[in-house]
Amino acid sequence: MKSNKFNLPDSNGFFGEFGGKFVPETLMYALEELENTYNELKDREDFQKEFYSDLSNFVGRPSPLYFAERLSNHYGSGSIWLKREDLNHTGAHKINNTVGQILLAKHMGKKRIIAETGAGQHGVATATVAARLGLECHIYMGAEDVKRQSLNVYRIKLLGAEVHAVDSGTATLKDALNEALRDWVTNVDDTYYIIGSVTGPHPYPMIVRDFNSVVEISKIIKKYKTDYNQLPDAIVACVGGGSNAMGIFYPFIDIPETRLIGVEAGGNGVSTGEHAAPLNDGTPGVLHGARSYLMQDESGQIMDTKSVSAGLDYPGVGPEHSWLKDIGRAEYVAVNDDEALKAFHEVTELEGIMPALETAHAFAYLETLMKELPDTANVVVNVSGRGDKDINTVAKIDGIEF
């Protein structure tokens, strides 16, 4: 368990200056109900047993930590290890969280499940667990994302959920979140909202982090200590809202030997202003229930974002990441669309693993990182998801029509 120093959030849901509960009054009781339920269940043996049983039998955990030999050779120094979250059922880390939250919904007797989704992975993961329990499920998705992630839209429909295309605002992930919150305000009595990232009001950033911290990190540490008598030198993960990164960073927060590196979406380049990298080029503000770094103008209006990856195309970030940035415990960098696309192709060709475009951002940063590190370095990349869902996007960029 964590040492007290990092035992956050506090009782008001804050990580330092970040986080909190900034929601309309109608939702306050629902957040309290959720927090009480989670605190009551999380350490209970029967809950843990059911959660880990589902992870093992339904999700297919534990996922391997795989040595990427050709990718390591490609960079010429250091060893690159892949945490294979892409091998999970439904193809991404998102299922870890939905498997956990649906158990909370079940315990609370909620009959109706809602969720927002960007790339569609969280929508698929939510529709999947709702189908498994026979619960009514509604997925909110920006109209732009519905277009660029049509495969996942169809998957969600096949799973029996209803997809609501959201036209308002920029018609992407943030607007899907707005609409899901509006649904929740309206149907709060019988509805459970499964937020898909470490964002939103307390207790969501804590719950989503905890359910994502099942990445068998203790095993990784043991393996490194046994095999190499050292800890990983760096862990690299992509950051949109930041759930996969938070899941793998969290057990390492109080292990200073390991660098934690979050890679944001640089879009057309951070200096162009056309990106989705609030930790690199944003300021603190309040959006979607929490105080965190945001892309906003001087009037406090939220700015449009740009990323080739729908899952990273979000103007905010989880509050715990903002805190880790400010205390200097984690580093946050950005890679551009074209760098991510190059990494997508490289990893696919070198390792026979096709990463999601989100994950490709983490891979792209190896180009910079591996040059800085000594030959003995061990680096873990969190492979947050597989890239099948992105084939249409990549093909279009490559000028290929099916």
Partner 1 sequence: MNRLTRTLNNLKDNNQKALVAYLVAGDPDLDSTLDLMHLFVESGVDVIEIGVPFTDPIAEGPTIQKAHDRALKNNISLKMIFDLVVEFRKKNDQTPIVLMGYLNTFISHIDLVESTSIIDSILVVDIPGELSLKDYGITNPNINTISLISPTTTDDRVELIAKNSTGFIYYVNLRGVTGSSNLNIDEIKNNIQKIKKHSDLPTLAGFGIKSANDAKMLSACSDGVIIGSSIVEMINESSNSKEFARIGEYLKEIKQAIS
402/391 Cα distance (integer angstroms): 11
Shortest Cβ distance from residue 289 to partner 1 (Å)?
7
Q: Which of 35, 85, 116, 320 is catalytic?
A: 116
Query: In angstroms, how far is CA 51 from the centroid of its own chain?
Result: 19
Give the 3-state secondary structure of residue 192. Answer: strand
Give me the least distance between CB of 181 and partner 1, in Å please. 5
28 binds partner 1 (CB under 8 A): yes
Beta carbon nearer to partner 1, 61 or 288 = 288
239 CB neighbour count, 10 Å cutoff: 35
Rg from Cα positions in the chain: 19
Which H/E stretch holds residue 138?
strand 136-142
To the query of whether residue 35 is one of the catalytic residues in this protein, the response is: no
For partner 1, the closer of residues 24 and 60 by Cβ is: 24
Candidates 98, 149, 178, 378; binder of partner 1 (CB under 8 A) is: 178
Of 385, 295, 397, 301, give the one whose Cα is nearest residue 342: 397
Q: Helix, strand, or coil here: 385?
A: strand
Question: Catalytic site residue 331?
Answer: no
Parallel, antiparallel, or unpaired: how do β-strands 191-193 and 112-117 relate? Answer: parallel
Omega before residue 62 within 30° of 0, cis: yes
- Does the protein bind partner 1 through residue 24 (CB under 8 A)? yes
Cβ proximity to partner 1: between 183 and 233 the closer is 183
Residues 186-205 that bind partner 1 (CB under 8 A): 186-189
Q: How far is the CB of 31 from partner 1 (least distance, A)?
A: 9
116 is catalytic: yes
The residue annotated as part of the active site, out of 83, 94, 110, 389, is 94
Count of residues making up the chain: 402
> Where in 296-325 is the site for partner 1 (CB under 8 A)?
296, 298-302
Which of 238/287 has CB closer to partner 1?
287
Provide the minimum distance between the beta carbon of 57 and partner 1 in the complex, in angstroms, as a whole number: 37
CA distances from 132 to 84, 106, 125, 135 (A): 24, 12, 11, 8
| Interface with partner 1, residue 287, by CB under 8 A | yes
Q: Which of 8, 14, 15, 21 binds partner 1 (CB under 8 A)?
A: 21
Backbone phi and psi for residue 130, each to the nearest 5 degrees, phi listed first: -70, -40
> Can you give the binding site for partner 1, defined by CB under 8 A?
21-30, 32, 168-169, 174-175, 178, 181-182, 185-189, 285-289, 294, 296, 298-302
Catalytically active residues, by annotation: 94, 116, 384
